[in-house]
Amino acid sequence: MVFNAITVEQYETSERYFKLPKLLFESPRYEDMRLDSKVSYSILKDRLSLSLRNNWVDEEGRIYLVYSNTSLMKILKVSKSTLLRIKKQLAEYDLIKEVQQSTSSKGNLANRIYLGNLIVDDFDANDDELPGVSNLDQGGVKIIRGWCQIQPLMRLNITRLIIVIILVLERLRKILMNFHSQLKLISHYHKINQLHSLNQSIILSCK
């Protein structure tokens, strides 16, 4: 085979990729996690987009996966024993939780699989290196709730800005209404003056 290096033009392509959170590889919290567990978490998180399309969202707004162990083995390309080990380790890090759906009435159903949020400790890295991390301290840890979450302080500023804009627009509306009323009054006076002038003209012509 002949080696074919990637060029600048080929670097950005339409290829699809799995997102591997840097936190899993940089944070001391996750340094002892096995590599296959980290990759499996990333692959399962990517599958949440499919869950959204299927409307797999519970009454609390939490997205979940619905896969049997057999399906997960095919998705992750692992054996059953490896899958069980991966799920066990992710559960130890609070990154996965399964809820049984099978009942005597419903029959044998695949479990609901919930994925947990990644947690970054204050000393892990600077906030500007971890997009989507809240600046608000939460008992020594910060929770990443998405790849590009708006920070709470930014949300607060946006809310204040919206309120100010609404107040300004309401003030402008009142000014315009007042201006419109004044225009109508001026127009009314102008018509009265025209009628008065017309009457004077008629009187003068009659004389």
pLDDT digits (tens, 9 = 90+) for 84-105: 999 999 999 999 999 988 666 6
Antiparallel, parallel or unpaired: β 65-66 and 118-121: unpaired
pLDDT at 182 exceeding the cut of 90: no
Contacts of 115 (CB under 8 A, 6+ apart): 41, 44, 45, 48, 63, 65, 95, 96
Q: How far apart are CA 14 and CA 190, in angstroms?
A: 69
Confidence of residue 115 (pLDDT cuts 50, 70, 90): very high
Q: Which residue has the tokens 């479990």?
A: 111
Q: What is the CATH number of domain 17-115?
A: 1.10.10.10
Is residue 32 very low, low, confident or very high in pLDDT (cuts 50, 70, 90)? Answer: very high
3-state secondary structure 81-99: HHHHHHHHHHHHCCCEEEE
How does 160-178 read in b/e, with b if 16+ C-beta sit within 10 Å? eeeeeeeeeeeeeeeeeee
pTM exceeds cut of 0.85: no
Binning pLDDT at 50, 70 and 90, where does residue 126 land? low
147 or 157, higher pLDDT: 157
- The stretch 74-78 carries a mean pLDDT of 94
Average pLDDT over residues 35-61: 93
Q: Where are the domains of the chain?
A: 17-115, 154-206
User: 180: left (phi > 0), else alpha (psi -120 to 50), else beta?
Assistant: alpha
